[in-house]
């Protein structure tokens, strides 16, 4: 079946360093979404990418969707302790169908 | 605005006991509803989803079941819990008329002893 792979599984950085998590699908996606789950909390929607090659920014966060619509990345510039949590990508083969979640990347930040 | 509620927040149940987790959504109508399980702080496993009252699709065969007796109510049940049922259960909703993002409830932490 369709899979969404996410790497790395864990990442520890010093505050101020950059961080990137990568997401790869075995099949072409209609769109990809990113969620953040703080420790002890529930996933919260961050953004959705739909177009091939799309790049979106939210303050220090940059999201990219690959040209082939099979991969995506989330890059955080100058991490802060508030960035701690697990970041999930989730893809849809077709709009309106169930999301396929990656296993997430857990980010820890030391000050 | 829309809100999603789940209860209880935490639950400790013995093996073999029944389970009933409830999820309700406010501020929207005819949402798509989802039950996920997250084991040991890791990935999200889709268990069930519903596009309308009485319509349930199961993604993973197991000893759990789901029901949607009302438009904005989604219930996860089990007749006899297993140790492997322990985890963090999350309910989520999504508009079925526009947008694909999902909104998650606060979750229920279930420990089966």
| Residue pair B96/B86 in contact by the 8 Å Cβ criterion | no
* pLDDT score of B81: 96
List of chain B residues whose C-beta atoms are within 8 Å of the C-beta of residue A96:
96, 100
pLDDT at B82 (0 to 100): 95
User: Domain count of chain A?
Assistant: 1
Range of the domain at B59: 3-112
Instruction: Please indicate if any CB of chain A lies within 8 Å of the CB of B98.
Output: no
CATH number of the CATH domain containing B92: 2.60.40.10
The answer on pLDDT for B8 being more than 80 is yes
Domain count along chain B: 1
User: Residue B101 and residue A102: Cβ atoms within 8 Å?
Assistant: no
Give me the sign of the Cα torsion angle B57, A34, B102, A57: negative
Query: Per residue in B47-68, pLDDT tens?
Result: 999 999 999 999 886 899 999 9
> Has residue B97 got a pLDDT over 70?
no
Which pLDDT band, with edges at 50, 70 and 90, does B87 fall under?
Answer: very high
Q: What is the CATH number of the domain that holds A18?
A: 2.60.40.10
> What pLDDT is stored for residue B37 in this prediction?
95
Amino acid B59: pLDDT: 85
């Amino acid at each position: 079946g369709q899979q969404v792979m996410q790497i790395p599984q864990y990442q520890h950085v010093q505050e101020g360093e950059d961080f990137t998590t990568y997401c790869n699908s075995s099949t072409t996606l209609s769109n990809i979404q990113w969620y953040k789950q703080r420790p002890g909390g529930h996933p919260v929607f961050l953004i959705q990418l739909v177009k091939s090659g799309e790049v979106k920014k939210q303050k220090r966060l940059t999201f990219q969707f690959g040209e082939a619509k099979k991969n995506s990345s989330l890059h955080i510039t100058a991490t802060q302790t508030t960035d701690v949590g697990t970041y999930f990508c989730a893809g849809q083969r077709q709009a309106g169908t169930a999301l396929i979640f990656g296993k997430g990347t857990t980010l820890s930040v030391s000050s | 605005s829309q809100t999603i509620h789940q209860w209880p927040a935490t639950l400790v149940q013995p093996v073999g006991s029944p389970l009933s987790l409830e999820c309700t959504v406010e501020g929207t109508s005819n949402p798509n509803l989802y039950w996920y399980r997250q084991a040991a702080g890791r990935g999200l496993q889709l268990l069930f989803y519903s596009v309308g009252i009485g319509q349930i699709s199961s993604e993973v065969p197991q000893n759990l079941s789901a029901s949607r007796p009302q438009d904005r109510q989604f219930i996860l049940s089990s007749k006899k819990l297993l140790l492997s049922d322990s985890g963090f259960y999350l309910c989520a909703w999504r508009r079925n008329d526009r947008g694909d993002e999902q909104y998650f409830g606060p979750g229920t932490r279930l420990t089966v002893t």
